[in-house]
């Protein structure tokens, strides 16, 4: 993702809205749900929530210039109160992104490679689209629907289109699985969420006869 262009718009209001949706969904997760399968190939629901929580905290640290290594983004085990822990991490990343002058900063993202930094708008875009997809992952695992308005899906689709494909998507630790074929939608337009999911290695039909994608 390091070669993608920085989004021109200030995504922070939409980012907050997506995190609100994700927080509501994760708030439904109970300890007995943590072993459920997810659309992420290697993770059960507890591991997915741990990843999402760690990413929130890592991006909060990046926005504040406090990242020292990939360990700052490490998963935080869900524990007995996954919803509360995720909600706290969501508040932290929203607050960090809202700090004065944050859009003039660069975010250190060591998960993308040693010494990799990106412009703040690009970093916020990464976290934004990742949260859209993972909110859908949580919803599918729980068997509950989730929808996003067009003002969220339009920029999310633009970002998803810029994520590089190719052989790197086949690696075990790839951020996203190989691009899927765009799902069929009869004679009508394919919904934007379905296109985002397919571009980032998901099958919108999961788990109906489909293997999971990458994280």
pTM above 0.75, yes or no: yes
Mean residue pLDDT of the chain comes to: 88
Secondary structure letter of residue 75 according to DSSP = -
CA 72 to chain CA centroid, Å, is 16
Contact indicator for 25, 90 with CB cutoff of 8 Å: no
Of 88 and 6, the structure prediction assigns the larger pLDDT to: 88
Lowest mean pLDDT among 6-10, 14-18, 99-103: 6-10
pLDDT value, residue 80 = 85
Tokens 């985002």 locate to: 196
Q: What is the DSSP letter of 202?
A: -
DSSP characters over 143-166: T------HHHHHHHHHHHHHS--S
* Distance of alpha carbon 209 from alpha carbon 203, whole angstroms: 10
CATH superfamily of the 12-166 domain: dinb family like domain (1.20.120.450)
Secondary structure (DSSP) of 164-183: --SGGGGSTT-SSPPPPPPP
**pLDDT per position as a tens digit, 40-62:** 878 999 999 999 999 999 999 99
DSSP code per residue over 89-124? HHHHHHHHHTSTTGGGSEEE-GGGSTT-EEEHHHHH
> Has residue 117 got a pLDDT over 50?
yes
Q: Which two tokens stand for residue 118?
A: 């990106």
Q: pLDDT tier at 187 (50, 70, 90 boundaries)?
A: very low
Q: Determine the Cα–Cα distance for residues 123 and 118; give it in Å rounded to an integer.
A: 6
The residues spanned by each domain of the chain are: 12-166
pLDDT digit string, tens, across residues 119-175: 999 999 999 999 999 999 999 999 999 999 999 999 999 999 988 777 766 766 666
């Amino acid at each position: 993702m390091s070669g993608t262009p920085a989004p021109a718009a200030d995504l922070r209001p939409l980012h907050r809205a997506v995190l609100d949706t994700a927080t509501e969904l994760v708030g439904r997760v109970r300890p007995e749900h943590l072993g459920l399968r997810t659309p992420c190939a290697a993770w059960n629901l507890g591991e997915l929530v741990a990843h999402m929580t760690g990413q929130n905290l890592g991006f909060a640290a990046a926005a504040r210039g406090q990242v020292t290594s990939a360990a700052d983004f490490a998963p935080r085990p869900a524990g007995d109160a996954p919803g509360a822990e995720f909600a706290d991490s969501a508040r932290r990343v929203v607050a960090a992104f809202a700090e004065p002058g944050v859009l003039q900063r660069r975010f250190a993202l060591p998960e993308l490679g040693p010494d990799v930094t990106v412009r703040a708008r690009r970093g916020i875009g990464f976290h934004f689209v990742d949260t859209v997809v993972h909110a859908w992952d949580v919803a599918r695992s729980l068997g509950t629907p989730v929808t996003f308005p067009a003002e969220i899906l339009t920029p999310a689709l633009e970002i998803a289109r810029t994520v590089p494909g190719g052989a790197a998507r086949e690696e075990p630790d790839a951020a996203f699985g190989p691009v899927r074929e765009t799902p069929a939608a009869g004679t009508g337009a394919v919904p934007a969420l379905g296109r985002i999911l397919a571009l980032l290695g998901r099958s919108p039909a999961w788990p109906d006869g489909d293997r999971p994608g990458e994280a």
